[in-house]
Structure 1
């Protein structure tokens, strides 16, 4: 049996910290000492960090600690058994899990343990009886009862697994394989930035150009800007945000540098094919063969391809010469410093210009790197002004300079900024057009 999970629910942000790989939701009296116990043991034996609530004395309301555990879990596995709906605690858990699915893009896997999915979806049989009691008990809060019913309908409509007439041991092993696959998928997400200041709005701008929802289209979008402006960082954030929506994805980084190496383009073609087809890392012997293989093997696949730091037209022509090389729904993103290169490659549909950070974004990014806070130290006002002015909104300069000055006294700051020509700004007596003091 093939497990089909909602893989698009993986988080777009690699900076999010998870405390648990899996959260187990279950009705204790139904499965605590049998199926759930065996599943929990198998997950732990396979090195999967799993949260299970072993509190046998539950109160009226779900505990804050349990709510936090749900929020901090990558995946929620819900064991829907005959008496699951009889527990208001379980129903509150379920509501929270579905909230996290929408808000935090958590993955949810429902397991139907000796119940028909339609019983859950339409609240029949034992589920119907449970709600007769809930409606009586919570007659002054029918909104809550309706929210629980809606949650059961929603979870039953997700891709899940039915344990009826199945060998329990084999079933558990398939769950383990599926969870491992989901966790491995997440490791393919790229590290974006320690302090992603100003990234999200730019991600949304480029996503609008990509028009991901239009599956009947395919397009190339170029991202241009000077060195250190954050093109690669932006491309990584976009890649993380949408990669799970494609049949295959590949981020080819540092093309300018890597293509200059021996057999550089051949190696890049091999990596492209290997990442998307999940096959051998050595398929291509020469560049022309690589072009043929890319077109032949990928023309029916909906892929996401990022070509990072391209500086020669031949690189584009050998890696993504035509959008027709790829299937419907495919998206190609190209980062480069060379706008004319994108114009020469006339298959590019849109171009996004990455501008420097605004004054407050620059201050935030510098402060995070210099002070580990989004607000600067009030004792450094004048030298901070010089530092921000010197960097000119360039993220890389703000990061490097802020990290260099971190933990140093003000005399060191002044000395270092003098070395980096900030004395020129001081002689001209130019000041930033926004008051730093309002941040304190």
Structure 2
């Protein structure tokens, strides 16, 4: 199995039969991937033949996830079938994740090579060696047994595509992060905050995180954002609001508009944005499920520009505000709050011991090299 620290060139390798889905389903799926920052291999420009070339094999091997879009004529292409065999080799050797989409085809037909799917597959098998055909049948049986999205279960293809992209994001984010290793009591903080967020409740909610400067509020908020992001189609971590937007928050109309522009630019993944009135955020994000972290806020005007009218957002939306000023949260009416205090004596001792052990191990390694 591949190490979780392995570096992958692509997030996704899509395997599909071009004439069936390229200009329809796949074009929309690729656009959704781009919107979500998912890097997918692009096969356009690669000359097709009966055997897949080294460039394609390399792309499969350098992708964290393979998505197999099974359509009526997938089995008519020896190219697609050879891709599928290579994908399962990578699953076995490198721990690649394999996901499936059954697009206007019955999984049972794929599994047993029956119906219209089976007919075209049998035509492809004509003149092939028994060994080659056996590899293809084995690969089709395996892929059909992987639970995936089935187009007949959706009456809205756009929603299905959003779900597929979300599943991809969840799998990409599943690798445990080491970004927050070393912070004393982090897991405890995250557990308590998540209980306050009541994520199973669809009612939009604002949560405040307060505590002294340097106590770790931003680190906690980042770790929380990292955990929650896969469940939110629209999300943004607005870092250091106080420092980055120091001139915004003086109460003037223009400053609030510029602050809203920055938020919308990032959360909607756009390059240009013109906000002409202060209701644009509620209008553009109306009924959208959003996750917004406002880090290091120090002004009521900043909150008024960015966190106003939480109930205009969609079901399940969460706004998280970090500040060193607990009174600021109270004055704005944010009563759902979490205070980050200094670690207990036991936690501080544990951290000191861990640091001492790490330093000792490093010295031992250095001495072994000398």
TM-score range, shorter chain: 0.5 to 0.7
Distance in 2 between the 1:75 and 1:354 partners? 38
Question: How is 1:180-329 mapped onto 2 (pairs within 5 angstroms)?
Answer: 192-193=179-180, 195-214=182-201, 216-261=202-247, 265-284=256-275, 289=277, 291-329=278-316
How far 1:363 moved relative to its partner?
4.7
How far 1:344 moved relative to its partner?
1.6
Residues 95-126 of structure 1: per-residue CA shift (max 9 Å, x gap): 999xx8xxxxx86432669x9442278x4347
Distance in 1 between the 2:303 and 2:178 partners? 25
How far 1:308 moved relative to its partner?
0.8
Task: Rate the CA distance shift 1:124–1:274 in 2: closer, same or farther, 3 A.
Answer: same
Residues 328-381 of structure 1: per-residue CA shift (max 9 Å, x gap): 2211101111112112222x352112233344543555566x56xx55649x9x
Task: Rate the CA distance shift 1:339–1:198 in 2: closer, same or farther, 3 A.
Answer: same
Task: Rate the CA distance shift 1:272–1:301 in 2: closer, same or farther, 3 A.
Answer: same
2:61 maps to 1:51 = yes
Task: Rate the CA distance shift 1:120–1:257 in 2: closer, same or farther, 3 A.
Answer: farther
Match of residue 52 from structure 2 = 37
Partner of 2:52, secondary structure, is: helix
1:118 to 107, 131, 151: 107
Query: 5+ residue gaps in structure 2?
Result: 16-47, 115-138, 152-164, 249-253
Distance in 2 between the 1:228 and 1:209 partners? 23
Match of residue 149 from structure 2 = 158
**Structure 1 stretch 355-364 or stretch 196-205: which is displaced more?**
355-364
Q: Which is higher, the Rg of structure 1 or of structure 2? A: 1
Partner of 1:333, secondary structure, is: strand
CA contact (8 A) 1:364 1:375 kept: no
Distance in 1 between the 2:301 and 2:321 partners? 13
CA contact (8 A) 1:23 1:51 kept: no
Distance in 2 between the 1:19 and 1:311 partners? 39
Match of residue 342 from structure 2 = 356
Q: TM-score, normalised by structure 1?
A: 0.49
CA contact (8 A) 2:108 2:144 kept: no
Partner of 1:155, secondary structure, is: coil
Residues 174-207 of structure 1: per-residue CA shift (max 9 Å, x gap): xxxx8xx969x97xxx995364553233222222
Distance in 1 between the 2:315 and 2:92 partners? 36
2:31 maps to 1:17 = no
Distance in 1 between the 2:236 and 2:204 partners? 16
Query: 5+ residue gaps in structure 1?
Result: 1-15, 27-32, 53-72, 101-105, 127-147, 161-177, 381-406, 408-440
Distance in 2 between the 1:93 and 1:51 partners? 6
Task: Rate the CA distance shift 1:120–1:329 in 2: closer, same or farther, 3 A.
Answer: farther
CA contact (8 A) 1:18 1:74 kept: no
Aligned residue pair count: 275
CA contact (8 A) 1:224 1:351 kept: yes
Q: CA RMSD in A?
A: 4.9
